[in-house]
C-alpha cells in the first residue's frame, strides 16, 4: 500500500528517583552523558510523552536527510523524499 513517512521531534519526560537525579546530573555536567542511551542501562525510570510537543522536522534539522518520504509499497525504497534526489 502506498504511504508517506514523516519524521518529527517530540518531547518525552523521564521520571527518575531523587537519588539517581543527583548522579545523572553530575554525569551530564561531566560530559559522561549526552543522550538517552547513556542513561538506559544504569537506571530505572519511566518515560511518558508530553502532549502537544510534536514539531515538524526539515532536512536541515536531520543532517540533510529526508524528513518526508513517499513510498509506493511497504518494504520498497522511497520514490521521493524532501532534501534528497531520487
Tens-digit pLDDT profile for residues 19-58: 989 999 999 999 998 888 888 878 888 899 999 999 999 9
- Grid cell, residue 77, equals 525504497
Q: How confident is the model at residue 34, as a pLDDT?
A: 87
Asked if pLDDT for residue 6 goes beyond 80, the answer is yes
pLDDT band of residue 69 (cuts 50, 70, 90) is very high
What contacts 24+ positions apart, CB below 8 Å, involve 72-79? 72/2, 73/1, 73/2, 74/1, 74/3, 78/5
Model pTM? 0.66
Q: How confident is the model at residue 81, as a pLDDT?
A: 95
Amino acid at each position: 500500500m502506498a504511504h508517506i513517512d514523516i519524521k518529527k521531534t517530540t518531547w518525552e519526560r523521564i521520571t527518575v528517583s531523587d537519588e539517581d537525579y543527583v548522579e545523572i546530573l553530575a554525569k551530564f555536567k561531566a560530559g559522561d552523558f549526552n543522550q538517552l542511551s547513556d542513561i538506559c542501562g544504569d537506571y530505572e525510570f519511566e518515560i511518558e510523552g508530553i502532549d502537544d510537543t510534536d514539531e515538524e522536522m526539515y532536512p536541515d534539522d536531520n543532517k540533510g536527510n529526508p524528513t518526508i518520504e513517499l513510498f509506493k509499497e511497504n518494504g520498497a525504497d522511497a520514490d521521493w523524499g524532501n532534501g534528497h534526489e531520487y
